[in-house]
Amino acid sequence: MGKQTIKQAIENTVNEGNKAFVPYIMAGDPSLDDLKSQLLFLQEAGATVIELGLPFSDPVADGPTIQDAGIRALENGTTVKKVLAELKAIRSEIHVPIVLMTYINPLFKYGLTTFFTDSEEAGVDGVIIPDVPLEQRSLIEEHMNQTDIALIQLVTLTSPEERVKRLAKASEGFLYAVTVTGITGARSAVSEKLESFIYTLKKHSSVPVLAGFGISTPDQVKEIASLGDGVIVGSRIVDLLHQKKKEEIKELIQAAVGTENTAI
């Protein structure tokens, strides 16, 4: 089977009657030596796409769980260069698309052209850069356009419809619907506005719509995934990996993708 794009992987999952599940993990937590086994575990558990965080000292969109994971990774000497080198070494064994979640400062430091070239060589399929709004996309466009890497846009509950249309049109791979206002982190309740929000996004988007931020239980996975094409779960996955509770991670993934197509 040839390598699938992010969009293809999600659409294939949806066409099989399931919903996409995108787990987020922090590269280098607890150590980069664990990255291969973590990615293989998530792939075997049925992840559709894997979102891989690059640790950064000032992660403005991340809540305490992911901040702590980033600190652990940085303390273990994790750098962007080391993450990309490790990914490149293991990529042939990982068949699901990989999306990097990062901030603009580490990319400036690395060098934008070099970052996108090295990322493509490492088998990266997409990037999420929360602190580069649509209006500043030109900062990275010329560097990114030399590659096939997708730039995934985030859209929030507070975005006016005109902006939603622009973000939906600009997003590649999938459109990331932020289900809460504020930072990431597990929450107990789901916003009532969410259904109409995702309906609006689906109306304007030519790529799949996935919802994330604050999703932490199998019931929430089922409920929120049913509104769009799937879910992204970060803080809860990071927490469970840290606690070595792999069975609970499998339960979260199965809540979206079902069990019949999952190779456990």
The single residue of 62, 125, 229, 239 carrying the catalytic annotation is 62
Query: CA of 115: how far to CAs of 6, 36, 40, 111, in Å?
Result: 20, 21, 24, 6
User: Cα–chain-centroid distance for residue 237?
Assistant: 12
The single residue of 29, 51, 125, 172 carrying the catalytic annotation is 51
Q: Does the active-site annotation cover 62?
A: yes
Pseudo-torsion of CA 173, 8, 126, 259, nearest 10°?
A: 110
Q: Does the active-site annotation cover 51?
A: yes
Active site residues: 51, 62
